[in-house]
Amino acid sequence: MAMYAYRCPHCREIGVTFPIGTAPGAVACPDCGAAAVRVFSAPMLTRTPSAVSAQIRRAERSAAEPEVVTSLPRRRAAGPVAVHPATSRLPRP
């Protein structure tokens, strides 16, 4: 189902839901009964951030052709561990 916009010449703009490709050129206004004509607008498309789209492409490529590794990845250097104040009250072994 898709939402289509119609503009009544007397009242307001209304939104009506129809199956895709079956929307008529005009519908009756629910308020006054006049013929509301269809308004064409840009589709509601969103742009995916480049980091997200790169991750999606990498996942799709990996599903079809998994990368073969010959060694384990390098470990990151361990930094200082943050200590939460509530952990100081826990019993020590």
- String of DSSP letters for the chain: -EEEEEE-SSS-EEEEEE-TT---SEEE-TTT-PEEEEE-------PPPHHHHHHHHHHHHHHHSPPP-SSPPPPPPP-PPP--GGGGGSPP-
Q: How many residues in total does the chain contain?
A: 93
The reported pLDDT for the residue numbered 8 is 92
CATH topology for 2-39 is Rubrerythrin, domain 2 (2.20.28)
pLDDT tens, position by position, 40-51: 877 666 677 888
pLDDT in tens, 56-81: 888 888 887 777 878 887 877 777 76
- Phi/psi at 58 (5° precision): -65, -40
The answer, as to whether pTM is greater than 0.75, is no
